[in-house]
Amino acid sequence: MNALGIKTIAEEGYEADDVIATLSLKGQENFNQIYILSSDKDLMQLVNDKIKMLRIGRGITDIREYDIKKVYEKYGFGPEKIQDFLALTGDAVDNIPGVKGIGEKTATKLIKEFGSLEEIYKNVRNTTKSIQKN
């Protein structure tokens, strides 16, 4: 359905964020700037020199623009680490449970120290006892 002259796209068997990601990445070939408007944190992994995210906070007037620099300011690491961060902390929107006992602060610390989820698991013995138990 196209309302108010705004084209909509849906692909059966795919979630909206999959369609948004595909269109955004393909659109880089033809557009200098692409904006994603969403409250879904996992789309922030798409942010790059051409793709920015307008993230809806509390209420429609609370919209924040994220470029690579803003992602670093908010999380302490770049967009390429958002998947690892959400795997650790969980993401209720996408039914990702996360790791029990690991919140945003601990996840950020671990990603900064080890660089990736894979490296965190390889070095789990070098983390605190409370993280090793989880």
Give percent of the chain with pLDDT exceeding 90.
57
Domains annotated for the chain, with CATH where assigned, are: 1-74 (3.40.50.1010), 76-134 (1.10.150.20)
| Residues 53-81 pLDDT 10s | 999 878 778 899 999 999 999 999 999 99
Top pLDDT among 127 and 116 is at 116
Residue 132 has pLDDT above 60, yes or no: no
Residue partners of 75: CB distance under 8 A and separation at least 6: 81, 82, 85, 108
As a whole number, mean pLDDT of residues 16-30 equals 94
Read off the amino acid at residue 44: M
Place of tokens 């033809």: 30
pLDDT at 134: 46
Region 87-115: what's the mean pLDDT?
89
